Amino acid sequence: MSIIVLLIFSYPFVFKKPVTQIKIKNQIIKIELARTSDELTKGLSNRDFLDPNSGMLFIFPRTDIYKFWMKDTRIPLDIIWINHNQIVEMTSLNPPIDNNIPEYSPKNPANYVLEVNAGFIKNHDIKIGDKITLK
């Protein structure tokens, strides 16, 4: 009986990634959270589409330099590095054309990284130093 109860109460956590919101300037972004080792490694790989005003927020245990790569990523992305709710670095990336998959490393440490559709930074005039709010 206790196993069934455990499965019922853990259902949302086992089968669905948590979704929340982040706000940059006046723009609300619906986000999936990547917190576990597997989620942090997989990221947005093997997806063909990302809804507009959506993204993935990578949550790290401490502030550090976190490298990203585009292995098996099919969609162009903007990557925003965030340290203590302030944007410290940004870059726009396209999926790799061949097997050469470069790493992208910020110059500044961060404790969060946000991946959104390519063009988001430019379209919403996002700047280094902008504050973010988690909801």
Distance from C-alpha of 128 to C-alpha of 24, rounded to nearest angstrom: 11
Q: Which pLDDT score is estimated for 96?
A: 58
DSSP assignment letter at 67: -
Q: Which pLDDT score is estimated for 12?
A: 36
Q: Which pLDDT score is estimated for 86?
A: 96
Q: For 45-74, write each residue's pLDDT tens digit.
A: 788 888 989 999 988 889 999 888 777 778
Does this model's pTM top 0.85? My answer is: no
Q: Which pLDDT score is estimated for 130?
A: 97
Cβ neighbour number for residue 43 with a 10 Å cutoff: 21
Domains and CATH numbers, the chain: 17-134 (2.60.120.1140)
Distance from C-alpha of 25 to C-alpha of 48, rounded to nearest angstrom: 28
Share of the chain above pLDDT 90, in %: 40
